[in-house]
Amino acid sequence: MITRHEFGVLEQDGKMVHNYTMKNATGMTVTISEYGGTIVEIKVPDKFGRQTNVVCGFDSLRDYVLGGCYVGALVGRTSNRIGNAKFVLDGKEYKLYPNWKGVSSLHGGKVGYSCRIWSVKPVDGDEPKLILTLHSDDGDEGYPGNLDVTVTYTLLAGNALSIHYEAVTDKRTPVELTNHAYFNLGGYASGPIYDHVLQIEADAYLPVDKDLSITGELRPVAGTPFDFREPKAIGRDIHEENEDLAIGMGYDNAFVFTGGATPEPILRVIAFDPNSGRMMKVFTDQPAIQFYSGNMLGDPDYPFQGGYPQTKHHAFCLEAEALPDSVNHPDFPNTILNPGETYRQTTIYQFSVKQ
């Protein structure tokens, strides 16, 4: 079942923005907004059967527009940071907007896809889906080529949300799309995520410089706080003395999956909240995932739903993606999309209960 409802009016142009809520036979609900293609709610039961929203978000459209942090949104044309806000492609330098500390370009630039209004086509059924489309002009935020993006959110019968991305271009251009949902499996109002247990199938991670741009090094996780190959609480090592943790004020790094990209989505990450019993499994075909532990949350002017204050380490993000800044690192897997090709990626977030 899919319902459509008004969410708010954009102050800059008076356009009404709508949200769409999908519900499956088991009662799981997912709400997606036209604004940013944002995941506003994911409601799933805990071990007592109580339905709670496990993603952080805001009550109003205005807060999404002004509150920042890419909360729940689709991001592109490239996710993560492009170092020095520029890249060279086919001998030509492309300059991007340096919206991160005036140095690098983050999540698509000044007005990335997280700030756009997406067209939404609902397709009802046993596994309801929302087909979102967006056109990005040649030169948009400095990127070459007209890009047409399609993102399909599908609420699967097995209490899972599938996100399938496709894009086509008329010029060679870098494309790295992802979603920036902030998860707290205890519920958005349940406090810090230190007790959440995380397991990531990654033998290496990408260190960062003082501005959180990657250095290009592929560093083994063994013997570091970044080793999540066996399940451990997020809070166990988050305050350890470590240069990358100090720079990010917690975890804010790309974890590189063992074996790299795969033809189909496979299980790569498991998150578990022992208090609620909720478990989330992440299946993806991407070579990496950005694990961000909500280090910069805490803006008092933009509380989460119901006025609940956002706080540091209040939620975590698991952004399946290509290796960040690949366009500036020739030894990384290619992220250039050519005319006549189709960019594709799929990530699935599956929810269950563990007693």
% of the chain with per-residue pLDDT over 90: 96
pLDDT at 42: 98
Given a cut of 80, is residue 230 above it in pLDDT? yes
Residue 125 CB partners (closer than 8 Å, separation 6+): none
Tell me the mean pLDDT in the region 207-229.
Answer: 96
Q: Are 96 and 112 in contact (CB under 8 A)?
A: no
Say if residues 267 and 283 touch (Cβ distance below 8 Å). yes
CATH number of the domain residue 302 falls in: 2.70.98.10
Structurally, the chain folds into a number of domains equal to 1
- Under the banding of pLDDT at 50, 70 and 90, the label for residue 41 is very high
pLDDT at 255 over 90: yes
- For the cut 80, the answer to whether the pLDDT of residue 355 exceeds it is no
304-319 confidence digits (pLDDT tens): 999 999 999 999 999 9
Percentage of the residues of the chain whose pLDDT score is greater than 70: 100
Q: Say which amino acid occupies 233.
A: A
Residue 235 has a pLDDT of 98
- 165-202 pLDDT, tens digit per residue, is 999 999 999 999 999 999 999 999 998 999 999 999 99
pLDDT at 26: 87
Tens of pLDDT, residue by residue over 91-129, are 999 999 999 999 999 999 999 999 999 999 999 999 999
Residues noted as catalytic? 180, 319
Rounded to whole angstroms, the Cα distance separating 326 from 219 reads 16
Mean pLDDT score across all residues of the chain:
96
Q: What are the pLDDT digits (tens) for 140-169?
A: 999 999 999 999 999 999 999 999 999 999
How much is the pLDDT for 256? 98
Q: Which domain holds residue 288?
A: 2-353
* Pick from 57-71, 165-179, 271-285: least confident: 57-71
Distance CA 292, CA 345 (A): 20
